[in-house]
Structure formats: C-alpha cells, structure tokens
Amino acid sequence: MQIAALDVRACRTAADAIQGDALKDNAGREGLDFVVYTVRTECGRSASMVGFAGRSALGTAHHAAAALRPFMVGRNALDREGAFRDFRRMDRWWMHLPIYAYGPLDACLWILGAEAAGQPLWRYLGGGRAEIPSYASSLVLPGPDAYAAEALTVKDAGFAAYKIHPPGKSLAQDIAIHEAVREAVGPDFTLMSDPVQPYTYDEALRLGRVVERLNYLWYEEPLPDEAFGALRALTAALDICVIGTEVLAKHPYSLAEVCASRVVDGLRADTSWTGGVTGTMKTAQLAEAFHMPFEVHTSIMAPLELVNMHICAATTSRYFEVLWPQSGFDFGLAKGLPLKNGVAHLPQTPGLGDTLDWDMIDNATLAEL
C-alpha cells in the first residue's frame, strides 16, 4: 500500500467568535484555524484527518507540505513504526516542526490499516471497551458562580466528571472556584483540576492541598511540564495524583525520566500533540509498565477527538475528554462525535467510523497546497 500523494489544506471555521479570555489568549478568535491531511495510495485508498494549526493554518499547511509530503510519498502506508522512527530522526536534523504536525498524518496511516483489515480502529488497536465514560473540561470562565453553574449543567447532561481550567490570575480566586464547584455538585461527583502552569511552587502546593481536601481526582499541570525538579517535589509532597506531560515533545522518549524518577504520578497524551496514534499508544504502554495512570488529553477538534476515543478503548485511560461547551469545537465530522448522555460509544464500522464533513471543509478552505 504505497503512498502516492499527500494533500494538505489550510482552513478556518466560520464559527462564532471565541472570546480571548476563554482560551487565555491575547485576542478573540473568529473561528479556529485547522489543516486537513489526505493520504492517497497507489491502490486507490485514501484517508483524511483534521489537524491543529495554532494561530496560522496557512503557516502550518506550508510547513507540512514542504516537510511531510517528501517524507511520506513513496513509503508503505502500513510501515507506521518505520515512519515514526524516521520522523524523529529527520525532525531533529532539519524539520523542527510543531509538536502537532505529525499526529494527524500518523492517524491517517492507522485508519488506512484498520480499513484494509476490516476493523474499527479501536479493535485494530486491540481495544476491548465499546463504551467510555466522558468528562467535560471548562474553558476559562469569569468566576466561582460561572464554574459552579457549568459543573451542574455538565452533571445534568450525564457526564461522569468535570474538569476546571481556572483563570490563574489570583490564587485566592482559583481556590474559591474549586470550593464553589465542589459545593455545587456535592461530595460524590468526580472533579479534576487543570490550572495549566500559572503558579510558583508554593502556590501550586497550596492549591494542591485544597483540592486534596475537596477530594478532586487529579491535579493536572500545576507547574510547567518541563519543570522536573519542582514537579518531583510537588508530587512527593501531595497525596493527590499529580498528572502532566501533555506538552512535552518527543513522546514516549522524553517521558522515560519522568517515569523512572516519578516526576509526576500519571501521564497525559493525545493524537495531536503526541505523534498520533503511534506515539500515544507508546506513551500509554510506558505508563502501564511503570504502574502509572494514563489519561488521553483532548485534541480539541472532533475528528481528532474521535481518534482519541478509539485510543481510549485500547488503553487504560479512564475517561474520554471533551471541551465544554462543545459547540465551538464540534466540527469536521459528517455524523458528529458518538456521545450520548455523557458516554462515548465506539463505532463498529471499519476505520475511523465516520467520514469528514467535506461540505464544511470545502467552505472553510483558505488554500490547497
């Protein structure tokens, strides 16, 4: 199954504006930039996947076309391991692509393989769970009342848990938010905290002790993922599960020391930022070998989220994560994510289990490279 072509599109959604504060950004966004990769083989098969593009779909697409097209064309689409290792070497030499560049391309290779095998991707990966409980992750909201109200909405919608992304502007406000949400949902509903690295060590320790007292399930990225010394000390000082690693490049190799010296208690990975299905599965297996929790991180856009769902079914990840509200990110799939009452239902048809929404993508296309 030799690869004959790699098509790359730069796109931008026509979605409603997302306010800058909701994404801890310096400006609002009129829609979201994304790219679309399509791998075509000499035997007539093809697979497509949406990709993250940061601030510039055009910039990401030009990088991908210049670096990944010559890298992939001529390879066997089933040689995923060889491509993964070769990309690691070549990226170190001259590519130096963003961490989100390779993942969607690797996902295309896995979809091609699963379709050729006549298996849903999760079965092709060895998965045995057809349903996964899901949790909703907040954007950044104004204050305690807004988070508490959203947590109740998520609970009423049937989700298994709710994760807070606090503003990170004031430790006192962040503590009040975590307390308000616990009071709103009661003692038994599962909650997680994900501050996204705004604190000093002392501040992270103070909030960590609060979320321990409030019986949160885990404490995610309270300090930068690369701050190994501070994270190791924080992990040792707290009883709550400290989890991270989602933005460390070069999974799973960059995580060997994280596991060996217990920098954190659990690992995070996803299709977009971890080198696709191949990198995410390797990270999941590394965590399992060290008896550490592993959780799949949201990849933001629906087609990538569907790949994540397949991975969840084939790993020890306890939950499937989606951003809330879903309306700003639920685009790109013809049928939409198979979520019902907060439960992810794995597709039963070969490959991804859905097609991309090409009408929407055609309307969103800025350029085809």
Residues 70 and 205 in one domain: no
Same domain, 93 and 135: no
At 196-209, the pLDDT tens digits run 999 999 999 999 99
- 109, part of any domain: yes
CA distance 143 to 34: 30
Indicate whether 113 and 148 sit together in one domain.
no
What total number of domains does the chain contain? 2
pTM: predicted TM-score of the whole model, two decimal places: 0.96
Strands (E) located in the chain: 3-12, 17-18, 29-30, 33-41, 46-52, 131-138, 161-164, 190-193, 218-220, 241-244, 266-269, 294-296, 320-324, 339-340, 343-345, 365-368
Where residue 327 falls among pLDDT bands split at 50, 70, 90?
A: confident
Q: 286: buried, middle or exposed (CB in 10 Å: 19+, 13-18, 0-12)?
A: buried
Which residue has 């079965």 as its token pair?
Answer: 123
- Judge whether 316 lies within some domain: yes
Average pLDDT of span 296-304: 97
Residue 172's domain is classified under what CATH number? 3.20.20.120
What are the pLDDT digits (tens) for 26-71?
556 678 999 999 999 999 999 999 999 999 999 999 999 999 999 9
Apex CA 127: angle with CA 125 and CA 131, to 5°? 135
Helices (runs of H) and strands (runs of E) counted in the chain: 12, 16
Residue range(s) defining the domain that contains residue 322? 123-345
Tell whether the model's pLDDT for residue 20 goes beyond 60.
no
Written as six digits, the tokens of 93 are 């030499």
Give the distance from CA 365 to its chain's centroid: 23
Do residue 250 and residue 341 come from a single domain? Answer: yes
Statement to judge: residues 172 and 102 lie in one domain: no
Whether 96 and 230 map to the same domain: the answer is no
